[in-house]
Amino acid sequence: MFHWLCSRRQFVDFFADQKPLNSHDVQWIDSIEDVFVQGEDIILVWQKSPSERFVLPSAVIVAEGGVPDFIAWISTYFKHLRPFTAQCRVLTPSLARLAEQAHQSPPMHDVKSADIGLILAEVIAYSASRTDVKKLPLSAYVRTLSFAFAKGLKHYNQVYRDQEGVFSQIEKGWLSARKCLQQQSLGLSSGRISDVWEIVRCAVSPRESQSNSVVNRLLLDALQGVLIDGRVPRSIWTKLYGRSKKIVALFEVLEGPREDRVKAVEVEVKSLVNGLEKNREHQAFLLGYLVSRIQPGSLDHFSLLFPVLSTCPESLLWYGACAGLTPETSVANYGSGLGWLLKREIERPVHWLSSPTCDIALTEMEVLLRNRDSAKFDLRTLTTGVLNVEVFPLISANFKWYEYGHVQGSDRSPHQSEMFEDDARTRKELGEMLRRIDESAMNLNAIRSQVMKTFGGKKN
């Protein structure tokens, strides 16, 4: 890669002139491991030498803690290039090193389709069972925290194992973006989503499971059983559930015919809901696991968990995780290609020196929205109604995009149970419903005319 250490004044001149740099000013480096920046100096980084033609840098590296100040400065001098982070990443040396390590990290451990299962489960939990999730656009699934975590696990595999902070920074960035955009709180907390992901991550990484002293070891052992054999080992089952004859019998029923499994699970779901206050974490896992055993590897029985959406929405996450981790998983086939589209987006390669694909980075959005007198916030987005924000280097997520300052209906509850209500009725669906209404009205008129013709009488 090529880099140029310069002052802000030199950067302004470089952009104003829009001419290639002198080859003597640009230096080649193999890595940014030893890069150091202080004060208001900045380092511009390119994949290809900017000495042949003018080109914007792929990344700008500023001193630690200096990103907000640099964004505020560049917003003043480059108003015609806003948002700047849609063209170029602005990083500190530590973040740049993380992003570089992400590019160099080895292939991640196989999570099978657990990432897909968790994304789908999160969407269903938000939809509150009132939306046909198979008809939602792909952008709706990219809004989830699980999608951001899945991308993080893909790109920061090695870093995740060595630095726990990355996972929490992605969560923090996702929450900050929602807050900046004045989006209401959701029924499924980010903390519960993060807890499930933490155990899934440990289950597929032996090294991580050994070094993590915080994760619930019983649930970890249970999930590793699902990963290896498709079921919770009997020894773990009794620790989670107990040793009564009823529980032993239930274990056996789950190995029997599907019809018996459906009946037994329906009864047990009701029983577990009544015991949520005892050990919510274990009960939530058991709810999801039991439903996953009806048809291992599929997501066809989410509806059995709808009665617990208001009290234990994370049970859906466990269902998605268990269905995605079991050896016979077919979660990627969910939704007539939806699962495979999500897998494509998760595995889409990205390099820290490639052009950003976001509409704006969180760091710039926070600066532009800070202490604004005007309620208007002009921003050109790739998709109408959707804002793609890079919440952490290489990790982007979609968010509903309202004009800044627009408050969503004051009569609405401050607690938002649905994340995708605007997507539940597409124009195509509405048009189809209107067509069917017109068709039914025509049929009724035809019947009325026939009755009048046959039996006589005055038509109204």
**Domain end call among 346, 376, 401:** 346
Same-domain status, 84 and 195: no
**Using N-to-C axis directions, what is the helix angle for 190-203 and 165-180, rounded to 10°?**
150
CA–CA separation, 374 vs 272, rounded Å?
A: 51
Q: Could you tell me the pTM of the whole model?
A: 0.84
Q: Is 99 within the bounds of a domain?
A: no
The list of the chain residues with pLDDT below 50 reads 159-163, 373-376, 404-417, 422-425, 459-460
Question: Containing domain of residue 273, as a range?
Answer: 114-346
Q: Is 428 within the bounds of a domain?
A: no
Same-domain status, 127 and 224: yes
Same-domain status, 288 and 183: yes
Question: What's the pLDDT score for residue 156?
Answer: 85
Same-domain status, 323 and 380: no
Same-domain status, 334 and 357: no
Question: What's the pLDDT score for residue 429?
Answer: 60
Tell me the sheet residues that pair with 419. Answer: none
Query: Which amino acid would we find at residue 94?
Result: S
Same-domain status, 148 and 285: yes
Sheet strands side by side (includes 395-400): 360-361, 386-392, 395-400
CA–CA separation, 70 vs 88, rounded Å?
A: 13
Residue 128 φ/ψ region, left for φ over 0, alpha for ψ in the -120 to 50 degree band, beta for the rest: left
Same-domain status, 372 and 318: no
Question: What's the pLDDT score for residue 375?
Answer: 38
Q: Is 169 within the bounds of a domain?
A: yes
Same-domain status, 277 and 298: yes
Question: What's the pLDDT score for residue 277?
Answer: 58
Q: Is 216 within the bounds of a domain?
A: yes
Same-domain status, 291 and 307: yes
Same-domain status, 181 and 197: yes
Q: Is 411 within the bounds of a domain?
A: no
Q: How many domains does the chain have?
A: 2
Same-domain status, 165 and 73: no
Q: Is 414 within the bounds of a domain?
A: no
CA–CA separation, 288 vs 283, rounded Å?
A: 9
Question: What's the pLDDT score for residue 316?
Answer: 96
